[in-house]
Structure 1
Amino acid sequence: MIFSRVTSLLVCILLSAQSFSQELLISNVNIITMDGQQVLENHAIYVKDGKIDKLIPLTPQTPRLSFENIIDGQGGYIFPGLAEFHAHLPVANDGSTQLQEESMWLYLANGVLRIRSMLGHPTHLDLRRRVNEGLTDGPRVFISGPSFNGNSVTSPEQAEAMVREQKAEGFDHLKIHPGVELDEMWAISKIAQEVSIPFGGHVPLAVGLDNALQSGYKSIEHMDGYLEALLPEDLEIGVSTSGPFNLMLVDQVQREKLPDLIRQTLDRGTYIAPTLTLFDRYFGYIPADEFRQAPEMKYLPGPLIQQWVNTKKQLERAGMLDKENVVPYLQFRRELFLALHQAGVPMILSSDSPQVFNVPGFSIHHEIALMSEAGMSNYEILKSGSVVPAQYMGKEQEWGMIKEGMAADFVLVEQNPLENLDTMKQPKAVVMRGKFFDRKRLQEELDKIENNHQRK
């Protein structure tokens, strides 16, 4: 075998190796570059100073690879890792950064190497700084500022000032929530484009999907606004009767309107953060007490889990989450997701974590399963977590693919994720900015987090 003939020339160490931050050579791997669907079989990858320096094909003619830090990939598969592009990072209360740092490890341990936090706070800026400077281990972090909503925005002029403030403070993105009026939205759009900061989020009812797209939304979270845009124009939406995200109105949808909405979305170059798992878990018919028992809940504080249980049970008691209501709604969302995707609308991998029963990192694998069930191919799913987020942030020349000169951000798994998505749930190793974390180290961090939240 070529593997054995080449690796016999190497002084290899197993995947229980210590972390290296400068140079390493990972041999005996297959590389999914994400520059198309080609897999580079029988390769080594040389990392130096946080960058991918060389991709080396391994053949009987390959010269001896003599190097101090050689790691045997044991025939595994390397890919650029995943994204969580709708995160809600914890706030560092009373100066404690524990929950923030735990979130970073929960993401890394699940192969999530880039996050976009969509509900910002000044402490998130400091977290981003610490991660960027290597003081805290974690994925690449992009931060939206505090929400623009009916309470925080009082006038177009005040909205303009708020955009300028968030840009000056160093936030990467603006988050729109319900309650923003149409004239305020146009003011946000004008200044955001002037100072070059992207914005997106929910689609306020007073704004509507058409205006949100025309205003320059870079991303629409949760596919919000599409159902409302498909309803009859004379239908009155009542907060108390329509249900969360108007799920009780799905039988009123006029699907013949969808092609025009898709065309508008494509024309504006808008991205979609679908968060299928949030709706499956928060607004699905599976009882809250069942989700409470999910194994990954042990990595979060008990009071937070109880808060989620209480929130979902309120909807259960109101009858909103009865199966006959929820099944058609979730089916509509999956069909909408697939229609947008098949038309070419870019999807960014996102699950909304930590949010109701979505644990950082783990929830991305629930999202992936639902995307697959809806009809998205394995390659396109991987693309939504690597290439597309890089394009979204304008960083496609820096990360998101396995190419020489790009950032050494990648994940090693046992099997080919283009054939088996489940293999991504248990990374054998993660390399982040050139720093190597083996499975043993990742598990040690998970064990620490579990111990921190032992139920009394």
Structure 2
Amino acid sequence: MKYLKRALKIIFGLLLVLAIVALIFIIVDKNNTSYLNINNIPNSSKNSYLITNINIVPMSNDTILSNKTLFIKAGIIEKIDDSISIEGVEIIDGQNKYLSPGLIDMHTHLWDKQELGLYLANGVTTVRNLWGYSMHLRIKENLDNDKIIGPMFFSSSPKLTSPHDLGDDKVQVNTPEEAKKLVIEYKKRGFDFIKIYAGLKDDLYQAILKQSKASGISIVAHPSREIPYLNQFHSQIASIEHSEEIVQQALDYQLDSLKVEPVIQKFVSTNMSFCPTLTGYYKIFEMLEKGESILKTEPVHYINPLIQKVDSKVQYNRWANEKINNSSVTKNIYQQHQFHLYVLKKMHEEGVNIVCGTDAGIGITAPGYSIHQELAFYKDAGMSNFEALKTATINPTKTHKEFAQMGTIEIGKLANLIVTPNNPLKNLNVLSKPDWVMVKGRKINKTTLNEFVDNAKDRSNLLVTAFRYAEYMLVEK
């Protein structure tokens, strides 16, 4: 008994020390991200403006509304006209620049608050996080309550899969009854969507579908390898993710234009939204092509430091070893990327609702920056600038009811806006460096956006991220 008491004291002492260390790191991290506090943002108390002399890219139509005036009241677009007279409202001279809806990245993995600033600096005013846990609910609450500045934030639940699909990044579900309880719990906790993953078996899949419908929460699907691809289209699913999963699951790694046609037609007949995440896959080719030096390139410096160590480096080593054993792997990956573009072109021609997502936050796919590469790929697939920009603005509003008030510049819509010196419908690249950004009517100037970028580069929050991931393991697993 004496030894047991001593052991318990030692364990308690270690737990106390760990709790104190964790608290210290969290306090330090809070101080390091204080620049995102709403009170530290210039003019953050204002969300009503009159913007004059501005060219509007409405995205409801392929047009430019030249030299307009726009009235924003309490974060909502109240009026658009040639001239508007409102007393007592600050006037912003648009200087004949271009006003576009803020961009929406529909497939991200967010690891820390610093990434919120990176998204804004790249014109992204809404993100859909697709691997949720407690940290994300706290961030979402702070954003919704205007305690911190950042893009509008929507998060899925943790990733649900079957017991045989191992990995600490997923929640292994054992029975349909457990699956139903998790859906109910995740909805109650405040997650916006349910995320299902690659190892999910049909009995669990059906249970999640049924309970999600009963609970009124939609599903985002990473297609399961345990269910035929064409059997995974259901009205409760908001979108299906990843071009590579079409090749690897539906086509069994065959780049076959004939065999992919039934897949495309299934998207058409079910009105299913598709999120290609071309950038995440293309980064494999970049690693193979450029070698280890790519880990030291500028965009990678903006990836969370823990991810750089446990994912970026691991992914690079995996593909570097593959290249040693298979000299044709670089060519094969590039050919599959080209096939992804072909599939996307055909989907676009058939009217599939394509939503822009990048898989940002894992591997070497940097938050914020990746959306501009993704949009460039859509142009490679044959889209016009307007058609590509639709995937990151109006198309997501057709995917989730929660996004209905975004995506276009129209009366009654949220003032989630970006201003660029030139017309994005002529050159999408201008969107990567906005002059200023607005979220829910709060204007963030260029100086502040630059500070967001500077504060996120090579940040030193590795241990804080590790503590938060440990929390995820304790709470969700």
TM over 0.5: yes
Percentage identity across aligned positions?
28
Alignment partners' CA distance in 2, 1:180 and 1:74 = 53
Equivalent of 1:116 in 128, 131, 150:
128
User: Residues 289-346 of structure 1, C-alpha deviation per residue, up to 9 Å, x if partnerless?
Assistant: 2422322233334453243023222222123673222122111111111111221111
Report what 2:28 is aligned to: none
Letter in 2 for 1:201: A
Report what 1:181 is aligned to: 201
Report what 1:272 is aligned to: 274
Note the C-alpha offset of 1:419.
0.5
User: Residues 42-90 of structure 1, C-alpha deviation per residue, up to 9 Å, x if partnerless?
Assistant: 0122211111122131xxxx57776552222221100101111111122
User: Residues 370-427 of structure 1, C-alpha deviation per residue, up to 9 Å, x if partnerless?
Assistant: 1112212211221111111122121465221111221111100111101101100100
Report what 1:89 is aligned to: 110
TM-score w.r.t. length of structure 2: 0.80
Alignment partners' CA distance in 2, 1:315 and 1:214 = 35
Q: Which runs of 5+ in 2 are unaligned?
A: 1-40, 164-171, 463-477
Report what 2:246 is aligned to: 226
Report what 1:260 is aligned to: 262
Alignment partners' CA distance in 2, 1:22 and 1:230 = 48
Note the C-alpha offset of 1:111.
0.5
Contact 1:108/1:361 (<8 A) preserved: yes
Contact 1:349/1:385 (<8 A) preserved: yes
Report what 2:15 is aligned to: none
Letter in 2 for 1:419: K
Report what 1:129 is aligned to: 141
Equivalent of 1:296 in 299, 324, 333:
299
Alignment partners' CA distance in 2, 1:314 and 1:64 = 61
The SS at the match of 1:351 is: coil
User: Residues 212-255 of structure 1, C-alpha deviation per residue, up to 9 Å, x if partnerless?
Assistant: 11474321111354224553xxxxxxxxxxxxxx7xx3xx3443
Report what 1:419 is aligned to: 426
Q: Which runs of 5+ in 1 are unaligned?
A: 1-15, 91-98, 232-245
The question of 1:105 aligning with 2:117 is answered yes
Structure ranking higher in helix proportion: 2
Q: How does 1:129-208 map to 2 (within 5 A)?
A: 129-151=141-163, 152-208=172-228
Alignment partners' CA distance in 1, 2:367 and 2:128 = 12
Alignment partners' CA distance in 2, 1:410 and 1:433 = 9
The SS at the match of 2:94 is: strand
Alignment partners' CA distance in 1, 2:84 and 2:55 = 19
How many residues matched? Answer: 409
Note the C-alpha offset of 1:359.
1.2
Moved more, 432-441 or 266-275: 266-275
Alignment partners' CA distance in 2, 1:137 and 1:408 = 14
The question of 1:318 aligning with 2:343 is answered no
The question of 1:343 aligning with 2:350 is answered yes
User: Residues 83-104 of structure 1, C-alpha deviation per residue, up to 9 Å, x if partnerless?
Assistant: 11111122xxxxxxxx2x2111
Contact 2:305/2:458 (<8 A) preserved: no
Alignment partners' CA distance in 1, 2:226 and 2:417 = 42
Q: After TM superposition, where is structure 1 displaced by more than 4 Å over at least 4 residues in a row?
A: 16-20, 62-68
Alignment partners' CA distance in 2, 1:281 and 1:267 = 32
Equivalent of 2:49 in 20, 24, 41:
24
Change in CA separation of 1:63 and 1:312 when aligned onto 2, cut-off 3 Å: closer
The SS at the match of 1:42 is: strand
Report what 1:48 is aligned to: 73
